């Protein structure tokens, strides 16, 4: 083999290793998918998904327990995960909806109440697919809700950004699975003049 070919192969291997390391970091070190039923909506970006398959539920709960040990903070795992219903309080990843149920009432807004109402009407009682990749600062799994009753092309965060009910947030990195769809949703919202 020529030196050029060997150098090219080494470069390709290094690029692949860096890419895989970045993907693993972007996913918080895990990747869990499953299905469940949306049984409660807290606000525009926080929901409860119930009836999760036992293996997936246990894996996500174990990730939250590990995050609690690692951070040495009380992440309230017992209130985020309910074994009887196999339910979890989910934070939708890479979006931020205006506040509507914040403990400081001055932070709650009409836009936040509208976003919460919209998500409640759209999602309550819906069967969804979910993909989770991290445990957030407050102990909630960071996930995307997609597919299910709303069809294979549906992804809740993208939908909310397009409709002007949430902002796309990428300060901690782009969405790990659908960054292009999120950027298109941001463009669409700007073109339509809709903002939360």
Q: Taking Cα atoms as reference points, which of 145, 148, 147, 140 lies closest to residue 175?
A: 145
**Same-domain pairing of 6 and 41:** no
pLDDT given at position 20: 36
Instruction: Please state the three-class secondary structure of the chain as a single string.
Output: CCHHHHHHHHHHHHHHHHHHHHHHHHCCCCCEEEEEEEEEEEECCEEEEECCCHHHHHHHHHHHHHHHHHHCCCCCHHHHEECCCCEEEEEECCEECCCCCCCCHHHCCHHHHHHHHHHHHHHCCCEEEEEEEEECCCCCEEEEEECHHHCCCCEHHHHHHHHCCCEECCCCCCCCCCHHHHHHHHHHHHHHCCCC
**Same-domain pairing of 7 and 58:** no
Number of domains in the chain: 2
Domain range for residue 39?
31-192
pLDDT given at position 17: 33
pLDDT given at position 120: 96
**Same-domain pairing of 169 and 134:** yes
Measure the CA–CA gap between 106 and 129, rounded to whole angstroms: 35
Global pTM reads 0.83
Q: Per-residue pLDDT averaged across 68-84, rounded?
A: 97
Q: Where residue 106 falls among pLDDT bands split at 50, 70, 90?
A: confident
What CATH number has the domain bearing residue 112? 2.40.50.90
pLDDT given at position 11: 39
**Same-domain pairing of 58 and 112:** yes
- Please compute, for residue 72, the number of CA atoms within 13 A of its CA located in the half-sphere on the CB side: 0
Note the pLDDT tens digit of each residue in 138-160. Answer: 999 999 999 999 999 999 999 99
Please check whether residue 147 is in contact with residue 94, taking contact to mean a CB–CB distance below 8 angstroms: no
- Min mean pLDDT across 1-10, 165-174, 187-196 is at 1-10
Q: Where residue 187 falls among pLDDT bands split at 50, 70, 90?
A: very high
In this predicted structure, the answer to whether residue 54 has a pLDDT above a threshold of 80 is: yes
In this predicted structure, the answer to whether residue 87 has a pLDDT above a threshold of 60 is: yes
**Same-domain pairing of 46 and 82:** yes
**Same-domain pairing of 44 and 96:** yes
Note the pLDDT tens digit of each residue in 9-49. Answer: 443 343 333 333 344 444 458 999 999 999 999 999 999 99
Q: Taking Cα atoms as reference points, which of 146, 137, 135 lies closest to residue 60?
A: 135
């Amino acid at each position: 083999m020529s030196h050029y070919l060997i150098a090219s192969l080494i470069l390709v291997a290094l690029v692949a290793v860096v890419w895989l390391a970045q993907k693993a970091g972007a996913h918080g070190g895990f990747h869990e998918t499953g299905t469940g039923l949306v049984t409660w909506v807290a606000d525009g970006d926080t929901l409860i998904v119930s009836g999760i398959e036992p293996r997936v539920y246990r894996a996500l709960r174990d990730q939250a327990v590990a995050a609690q040990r690692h951070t040495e903070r009380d992440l309230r795992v017992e209130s985020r995960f309910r074994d009887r219903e196999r339910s979890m309080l989910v934070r939708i990843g890479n979006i931020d909806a205006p506040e509507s149920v914040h403990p400081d009432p001055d932070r709650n807004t009409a836009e936040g109440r509208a976003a919460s109402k919209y998500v409640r009407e759209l999602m309550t009682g819906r069967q969804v697919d979910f993909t989770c990749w991290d445990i957030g600062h407050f102990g909630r799994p960071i996930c995307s809700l997609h597919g299910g009753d709303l069809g294979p092309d549906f992804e809740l965060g993208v939908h909310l950004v397009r409709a002007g009910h949430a902002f796309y947030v990428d300060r901690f990195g782009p969405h790990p699975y659908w960054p292009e769809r999120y950027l298109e949703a941001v463009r669409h919202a700007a073109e339509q003049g809709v903002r939360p």
